[in-house]
């Protein structure tokens, strides 16, 4: 059986918070324990798929907590916050007080971060990493829509 990543196009508004929540399931539709399995995750957004310049980059830690504010790259500009949190709930919370794993991947970029991403159509991917193995979980277009009100 071969694996293909999910194709999903995202429309994000400039100058507003941007969130994306995914659940990583195995072939039996069972959530994958992203903490106990030693997984990390990375998201990159680029103007073109083969561009050397990253417009956004977020990398999770292997402890499941996100790198908010220090691990992201936003069009070469510092400031803002965002990141990836593994084994998260759909609101970004950690799975405390609950048994088992959520398999959740919560991705967040705040309004300040999104203000530095140019409007237009870009490309993104989210990878799940375990050791030297990289699995492309989701990919597609990442369109940033500009503001009409000024």
Q: What is the pLDDT along the chain (150 residues), one digit of tens a residue?
A: 456 778 999 999 999 999 999 998 888 998 888 877 788 889 999 999 899 988 888 888 655 444 444 445 565 566 677 788 888 777 666 655 444 578 888 888 888 888 888 999 999 999 999 889 999 999 999 999 998 876
HSE of 35 in the Cβ direction (CA atoms, 13 Å)? Answer: 15
Q: Are 4 and 27 in contact (CB under 8 A)?
A: no
Q: pTM here? A: 0.83
For residue 16, what is the domain's CATH number?
Answer: 2.60.40.10
* Residue 92 located in a structural domain: yes
Measured between alpha carbons, how far is 76 from 83 in angstroms, rounded to an integer?
16
Q: Is residue 150 part of a domain?
A: no
**What's 5's DSSP letter?**
P
| Domain containing residue 15 | 6-145
On whether the CB atoms of residues 53 and 47 are closer than 8 A, the answer is yes
Tally of structural domains, the chain: 1
């Amino acid at each position: 059986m071969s694996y293909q990543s999910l194709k999903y196009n995202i429309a994000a508004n400039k100058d507003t918070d941007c969130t994306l929540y995914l659940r990583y399931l195995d072939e039996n539709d069972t959530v994958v324990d992203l903490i106990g399995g030693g997984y990390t995750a990375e998201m990159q957004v680029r103007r073109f798929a083969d561009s050397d310049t990253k417009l956004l980059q977020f990398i999770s830690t292997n402890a499941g907590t996100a790198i908010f504010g220090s691990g992201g790259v936003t069009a070469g500009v510092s400031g803002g916050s965002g990141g990836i949190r593994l084994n998260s709930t759909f609101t970004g919370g950690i799975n405390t007080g609950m048994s088992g794993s959520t398999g959740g991947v919560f991705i967040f970029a705040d309004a300040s971060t999104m203000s530095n991403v140019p409007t237009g159509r870009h490309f993104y991917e989210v990878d799940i990493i375990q050791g030297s193995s990289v699995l492309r979980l989701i990919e597609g277009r990442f369109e940033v829509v500009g503001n009409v009100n000024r």
